Amino acid sequence: MLKTFKIGGVHPEENKFSADQPAEVLDFSKQVIIPLSQSLGAPSKAIVEKGDLIKVGQLIAKGESFISSNIHSSVSGKVLKVDQVLDQSGYRRPAIFINVDGDEWIEGIDRSSEIKKEITLTKEEIVKKVHELGIVGLGGATFPSHVKLMVPEGKKAEVLIINGVECEPYLTADHRLMLENGEEVLIGTSILMKGLGVNRAIIGIENNKTDAIANLAKLALNFDGIEIETLKVQYPQGGEKQLIDTVINRQVPSGKLPIEVGAVVNNVGTAFAVYEAVQKNKPLIERTVTVTGKGVSKPGNYKVRIGTSINTLIEKVGGLPENTGKIVSGGPMMGKALNSIDVPVVKGTSGVLLFEEEEARRIEPTNCIRCGKCITVCPMGLEPVLIAQYAESEMWEEVEAERAMDCIECGSCQYTCPAARPLLDYIRLGKFKVGQIIRIRSKK
Amino acid sequence: MNLLTVSGSPHVHGDNSTKKIMYGVAFAMIPTLLVSVYFFGLDAIRVTLLSVFACMLFEWIIQKYLIKGPVTITDGSAIISGILLAFNVPSNIPTWIIIIGAFVTIGIAKMSFGGLGKNPFNPALVGRVFLLISFPVQMTSWPKPSALFNSLADAVTGPTPLGHLKEELKVGRTVQDILENGTSWTVDGINYIYKIPDYMDQLMGNLGGSLGEISALALILGGIYMLMRKIISWHIPVSFIGSVIIFTGILWVVNPDIYVNPGFHLITGGLMLGAIFMATDMVSSPMSFKGQLIFGLGCGVLTVIIRIWGAYPEGVSFAILIMNAFVPLINRSIKPKRFGEVAR
Ligand code: SF4
Ligand code: SF4
């Protein structure tokens, strides 16, 4: 029996159409827009101005607080302006607009394809490099990676878990990375191990990527302390807490971080970015993005410079199909619906999904039939139906008591509900309100 | 260009729907329906169609003219209530009584609480018990199943095994005596003999009883189908039937003269129908598996208590209705195992 997490879970249709498409380098467009909020935490502060000439890899915005990250230019050219732009959040937020001119890189970045295996940097230097070069978690949450490498006082990291699960349907970017850049991923993993001071790493991969598993397993023979673990295909296997539960059989307590049970989790994409930063001195300026959908003629995976318009990606797969009804950034279970095709690709963009008109519309909700299916599938052991009802009746205390804050917003409940109740909408509202209440309470 | 839909995640939905569940349940009732037609003839069809039609009609009238909201009679739930009500009455029941039953089922037990999903009690059971109390004579004269498509005129009215056993035990006979020798009596010089059918007949459905409760086999078939389609889980049927077997088994071991064996309890009366189709109604049963086990256990114990010591020969309906009332309490006190709460 393959390993999986112990509570709940669903198995949505996988629809990984682009699994066999090698990641292709996308030509960059005439203009890129680089948002200043690209990671969890405080937005970065722009250090360039209108008219500045910049090169690829140049630092253009600084993360000033502990939880924030540096941003580098993904292109060379001239800064057009620093202005508000409609980004993936659906809000207008500050960004740096750059008119592209040529492809000139700053000194010191190793652009050769040679693989550098020997890790010469010390533990401290690794953390510093990861911080300086703006590496963030590429699995979706975009948590600044240097923060994860700094184990808090009194805690001890025992094992590094690399998330190669890619449990979201449709997405194949991580899959391609593990196939095409397996060695770099493993070196990146070794670097992270050194940065954390652990001698054991486990890479968890779902069983629907057997070629990637075989590739990494073969390569891992040449690395110390890295194990490849084949996992059952079960959503949300890639949820941080679920993955830890699966591979090391420990459950992170409510409201606590993985380090509580001695684990640190990083995505395979992050491991690759760490490799590039530490071994090649390359900041995080591009990433692999899956562009796909049922109506898309040529679904594919693309290596994209950060700041490229999503529209450019869509053109690449044959343009927006006539009957497109929804565009999602990320996977279908947790991704965000976009309200424009002109928003830029950011560090956290793992995929662009085009939904046809009829898939885009939600099913009309009917009365809850109290089947309890939402409870059965919730991977956090919550009662979504109850939380949603309390939130609907604005009973925030009850929402909190029912542990709404534990909800990882995986969407399994709403996905499963036969009455198509908008459970997660209400749970999100509940979490938002409870979050406010908690903040007020802690101020008192 | 089209306008884009912007909604919160998830952006996909599983293929589960209320309709699919409801029609799945209705489909699972087909074997039982066929058996009832085989044994009770055209009357079974009359009762079932009438009941379903009346249930849908009442729901339509109430939704359209009283609530003035959306009409959802095609979601399948009224059809299920209709079939279940029909399954719970004798085949020779007068038409007007069914219509009253359908009114109570839909109008009172379902719509007055707010419709599908809001009713605390199983609607068909409320309808059935209402009829049982209001029309005890018509509800308990069971036509004896005999041949295919016999007309109402030559059907002989016979008792149910459970009812017969209870009556005869009251006059001091032993279980063995009743089962082996049957009972004979004389009316106007004619000799009648009633003997409780043997187990094979009971399993197949060749015994007196309500439309849907006579064939344990057909009911189990439907149950297996629902389990395979994951419409129901095993917890309620197993704990319900299991607790009946254990409870009656203990009594039987203690005194086989006055307590009949568990096998008899298992396949006579409405136990299978109740445990497979009535107690598993999602709306009126607990949501968690643990809660469902408790619910089934309660149903089983209450069924036996009523059957053996209660005023009625059959206790399944009452037991389920009583346990329905405990569902909110069960739901509230049984919490699922939370992530991270497991001590390691
Ligand atoms: S979205 Fe939240 S409540 Fe719903 S299944 Fe996932 S964790 Fe549970
Ligand atoms: S899955 Fe939907 S219908 Fe079932 S209990 Fe949860 S909210 Fe109600």
Report CA A407 to chain centroid distance, whole Å.
Answer: 18
pTM of the model: 0.89
- Residue A158 and residue A178 in one domain: yes
Lowest mean pLDDT across A48-62, A176-190, B168-182, B213-227? B168-182
Tens of pLDDT along A350-404?
999 999 988 888 888 999 999 999 999 999 999 999 999 999 999 999 999 999 9
Nearest partner of B66 among B36, B97, B106, judged by Cα? B106
Lowest mean pLDDT across A139-143, A260-264, A416-420, B251-255? A139-143
- What residue's CA is closest to ligand 2, atom 2? A417
Across the beta sheet with A226-231, what order do the strands follow?
Answer: A226-231, A201-206, A159-163, A263-267
Report CA A12 to chain centroid distance, whole Å.
Answer: 19
pLDDT the model gives residue B222: 95
- Residue A190 and residue A235 in one domain: yes
Give the list of residues 6+ apart from residue A116 with CB closer than 8 angstroms, or none.
Answer: A110, A187, A279, A280
Option in A370, A373, A406 nearest B283 (CB): A370
> Cα–Cα distances in Å, from B296 out to A202, A407, B210, B235, B238?
44, 31, 22, 7, 8
Minimum-distance ligand to the CA of A416?
Answer: 2
- Cα end-to-end distance, chain B, whole Å: 55
| Ligand 2 geometric centre to CA of A387 (Å) | 11
Separation CA B334–CA B332 (nearest Å): 6
- What residue's CA is closest to ligand 2, atom 7? A385
Instruction: With respect to residue A21, please indicate whether it lies within any of the assigned structural domains.
Output: yes
Give the residues surrounding ligand 2 with Cβ less than 6 Å away: A 368-374, 385, 416-419, 421, 423
Cβ pair A188, A271 in contact under 8 A: yes
Closest ligand 1 atom to A411 CA: 1
Cβ pair B59, B108 in contact under 8 A: no
% pLDDT > 70, chain B = 88
Separation CA A254–CA B338 (nearest Å): 9
Regarding predicted confidence, which is higher, A128 or B191?
Answer: A128
Separation CA B272–CA A98 (nearest Å): 73
- Residue A286 and residue A424 in one domain: no
Regarding predicted confidence, which is higher, B4 or B194?
Answer: B4
Lowest mean pLDDT across A77-91, A244-258, A385-399? A77-91
Beta strands in A146-299 (DSSP E): 159-163, 201-206, 226-231, 263-267, 286-292
Instruction: With respect to residue A17, please indicate whether it lies within any of the assigned structural domains.
Output: yes
Chain A CB contacts of B115 below 8 Å: 367
- What residue's CA is closest to ligand 2, atom 1? A417
Cβ pair A52, A78 in contact under 8 A: yes
Nearest partner of A164 among A103, A243, A98, judged by Cα? A243
Separation CA B294–CA A218 (nearest Å): 51
A 82-101 residues with CB < 8 A to B: 90
Nearest partner of A16 among A210, A268, A303, A203, judged by Cα? A210
Separation CA A240–CA A209 (nearest Å): 19
Decide if B333 touches A, using CB distance below 8 A. Answer: no
Point out the domain boundary residue: A311, A330, A361. Answer: A361
Cβ pair B125, B320 in contact under 8 A: yes
Decide if A373 touches B, using CB distance below 8 A. Answer: yes
B 56-95 residues with CB < 8 A to A: 72, 75
- Look over chain B and give the mean of its residue pLDDT values, rounded to a whole number: 86
Separation CA B194–CA B179 (nearest Å): 10
| B8/A363 Cβ within 8 A | no
A 176-205 residues with CB < 8 A to B: none
- What residue's CA is closest to ligand 2, atom 6? A374
Out of A364, A366, A367, A368, mutate this one to test ligand 2's pocket (max ligand atoms within 8 Å of CB): namely: A368
* Chain B interface disruption, residue of A336, A366, A389, A409, most B CBs within 10 A: A366
Distance to chain A for B340, nearest Cα, Å: 4
CATH 3.30.70 is the classification of domain B18-147+196-333 = no
Residue B202 pLDDT class (50, 70, 90 cuts): low
Cβ pair B283, B119 in contact under 8 A: yes
Point out the domain boundary residue: A361, A390, A424. Answer: A361
| Ligand 2 geometric centre to CA of A389 (Å) | 11
Q: What is the ipTM of this complex?
A: 0.88
- Residue A383 and residue A344 in one domain: no
Place of tokens 């399994």: A412
- Look over chain A and give the mean of its residue pLDDT values, rounded to a whole number: 91
Place of tokens 């189709």: B277
Residue A234 pLDDT class (50, 70, 90 cuts): very high
Domain that holds residue A418: 373-443
Question: Which three-class secondary structure state does DSSP give residue B290?
Answer: helix
Residue A406 pLDDT class (50, 70, 90 cuts): very high
- Residue A354 and residue A377 in one domain: no
Average pLDDT over residues B93-99: 92
Cβ pair A92, A36 in contact under 8 A: no
- What residue's CA is closest to ligand 2, atom 4? A371
Count the domains in chain A: 2
- Cα end-to-end distance, chain A, whole Å: 51
pLDDT the model gives residue B147: 45
Nearest chain B alpha carbon to A371: B282
Chain B CB contacts of A417 below 8 Å: 16
Bond into A43 cis (ω within 30): no
Tens of pLDDT along B29-57?
999 999 888 888 888 899 999 999 999 99
Cβ pair A292, A170 in contact under 8 A: yes
Question: Which three-class secondary structure state does DSSP give residue A120?
Answer: coil
| Ligand 1 geometric centre to CA of A387 (Å) | 10
| A332/B12 Cβ within 8 A | yes
Separation CA B150–CA B121 (nearest Å): 36
Residue B146, Ramachandran bin (φ over 0: left; ψ between -120 and 50: alpha; else beta) = alpha
pLDDT at B199 over 80: no
Q: What are phi and psi of A105, to 5 degrees?
A: -100, 155
Cβ pair A286, A304 in contact under 8 A: yes
- Residue A308 and residue A202 in one domain: yes
| A371/B287 Cβ within 8 A | yes
Decide if B120 touches A, using CB distance below 8 A. Answer: no
Q: Structural domain boundaries of chain B? A: 18-147+196-333
DSSP B113: G
Place of tokens 């380090």: A259
pLDDT the model gives residue B2: 64
Place of tokens 């309660």: B298
HSE-CB for A427 with a 13 A CA cutoff: 28
| Ligand 2 geometric centre to CA of A369 (Å) | 6
pLDDT the model gives residue B155: 44
Report CA A323 to chain centroid distance, whole Å.
Answer: 28
Average pLDDT over residues A99-113: 89
- Decide: A378 in ligand 1 pocket, CB within 6 A: yes
Instruction: With respect to residue A206, please indicate whether it lies within any of the assigned structural domains.
Output: yes
Cβ pair B120, B324 in contact under 8 A: yes
Average pLDDT over residues B301-309: 93
Distance to chain A for B19, nearest Cα, Å: 8
Q: What are phi and psi of A35, to 5 degrees?
A: -65, 150
| A335/B16 Cβ within 8 A | no
Torsion, CA B216, CA B219, CA B220, CA B226, rounded to 10: -170
- Residue A224 and residue A125 in one domain: yes
pLDDT at A295 over 80: yes
Lowest mean pLDDT across A350-354, A359-363, B129-133, B187-191? B187-191
Give the torsion sign (CA, B48, B49, B55, B58).
negative
- Decide: A385 in ligand 1 pocket, CB within 6 A: no
Separation CA A104–CA A11 (nearest Å): 46
Separation CA A272–CA A145 (nearest Å): 12
- CB count within 10 Å of CB B184 equals 10
Nearest partner of A55 among A69, A74, A38, judged by Cα? A74
Bond into B10 cis (ω within 30): yes
Separation CA B261–CA B246 (nearest Å): 10
- Residue A271 and residue A411 in one domain: no
| B2/A357 Cβ within 8 A | yes
Give the list of residues 6+ apart from residue A193 with CB closer than 8 angstroms, or none.
Answer: A160, A199, A200, A201, A225, A226
Minimum-distance ligand to the CA of B338?
Answer: 1
- Residue A227 and residue A343 in one domain: yes
| Ligand 1 geometric centre to CA of A437 (Å) | 21
pLDDT at B149 over 80: no
Point out the domain boundary residue: A361, A395, A416. Answer: A361
Lowest mean pLDDT across A296-300, B79-83, B294-298? A296-300
What tokens were used for B92?
Answer: 């020779």
pLDDT at B208 over 70: no
Beta strands in A338-414 (DSSP E): 351-356
Report CA A442 to chain centroid distance, whole Å.
Answer: 30
Closest ligand 1 atom to A384 CA: 3
Rg of chain B over CA atoms, in angstroms? Answer: 22
- What residue's CA is closest to ligand 1, atom 8? A378
Lowest mean pLDDT across A86-100, A381-395, B242-256? A86-100
Place of tokens 């029609």: B23
Regarding predicted confidence, which is higher, B184 or A3?
Answer: A3
| A369/B283 Cβ within 8 A | yes
- CATH number of the domain where residue A357 is located: 3.40.50.11540
